[in-house]
Structure formats: structure tokens, C-alpha cells
């Protein structure tokens, strides 16, 4: 499971005016880089790890937001708690990515239905959109 443009989503929770706008998260100086950007900004060819200077040139109307990494960490912990209390085995591979082992569960539940319900639960409880990929191994799921 991977939280959708996680830093942007958290920033939108903090400031709903950012919703639907091109948003760049990262260092605001000329030497900074984009750590995350909204889908609206991606439409201009902006992507994460791009120099902020170039991103602003590609998308001059973008709103630049300084990252609040304490907030991101907090919301990541909230999502981790929801996953941790819902599944027997998981791995947190980054601040916004989780691998969940559903081995054996298809005997009792429809795994796709179950994962969809977990996805909805996370979004309902936190306000953060999250996606999942399901397969027989981690690489294909990612």
C-alpha cells in the first residue's frame, strides 16, 4: 500500500485551500529540490527530486510549501497503527509505503475485497488517499 502523493495530501489536510492546485513541497530556496508534488503539478512535467528552480520554471503558478516533516511522520504513524491492528504481518518500507503479507488469508476472505476495505478504512479515519497493488511478490506489487 502506498499513500498517494503523501506529503501533498497531508499538506492539504492542514490547508484545504491547496486542494486541486499545483503544489510543490520542498526547500523554498533556489538550491532546494522538490520532495513531493501534487498531480496538478505533475501535469507540467514536475517530479520529485527535481531542482525547485526548474520546477518553478515549468509550473510558474505552483504553490511552494515548506515540508512539515514532523506532521508527515505523525500521519505516517497513524496509518501504521491502523495497518498494524488490522493485519498479522506487515513491513513499513518507507514513510508512505507498506507491504502486507496476506498469505493464507484467501482461505477465509476475498483478499481483494479485504484490501479494498482496509484502504477505505485508512482514508476514512485519516483523510489520506492510499492505493494498493496486489500480487504474489513485493516487486510486482510495487
Residue 40 engages Mg ion in binding (rule: CB under 5 A): no
Q: C-alpha distances in angstroms, 70 versus 29, 74, 76, 80?
A: 20, 6, 10, 15
Please say which residue, 37 or 62, places its beta carbon nearer to Mg ion: 37
Least distance from C-beta 75 to Mg ion, angstroms? 12
CB of 59 to Mg ion, least distance (A): 20
* Residue 96 touches Mg ion, criterion: CB under 5 A: yes
Note if 97 is an active site residue.
Answer: yes
Residues marked active site are found at: 97
Provide the binding-site residues for Mg ion, judged by CB under 5 A.
Answer: 2-3, 6, 96
Amino acid at each position: 500500500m502506498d499513500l498517494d502523493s503523501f506529503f501533498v495530501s497531508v499538506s492539504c489536510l492542514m490547508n484545504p485551500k491547496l486542494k486541486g492546485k499545483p503544489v510543490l513541497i520542498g526547500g523554498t530556496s533556489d538550491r532546494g529540490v522538490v520532495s513531493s508534488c501534487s498531480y496538478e503539478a505533475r501535469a507540467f512535467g514536475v517530479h520529485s527530486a527535481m531542482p525547485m528552480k526548474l520546477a518553478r520554471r515549468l509550473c510558474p503558478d505552483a504553490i511552494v510549501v515548506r515540508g512539515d516533516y514532523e506532521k508527515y511522520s505523525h500521519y505516517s504513524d497513524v496509518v501504521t497503527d491502523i495497518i498494524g491492528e488490522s493485519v498479522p504481518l506487515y513491513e513499513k518500507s518507507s514513510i508512505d509505503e507498506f507491504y502486507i503479507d496476506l498469505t493464507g488469508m484467501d482461505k477465509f476472505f476475498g483478499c481483494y475485497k479485504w484490501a479494498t476495505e482496509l484502504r477505505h478504512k485508512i482514508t476514512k479515519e485519516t483523510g489520506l488517499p492510499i492505493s494498493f497493488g496486489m500480487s504474489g511478490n513485493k516487486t510486482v506489487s510495487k
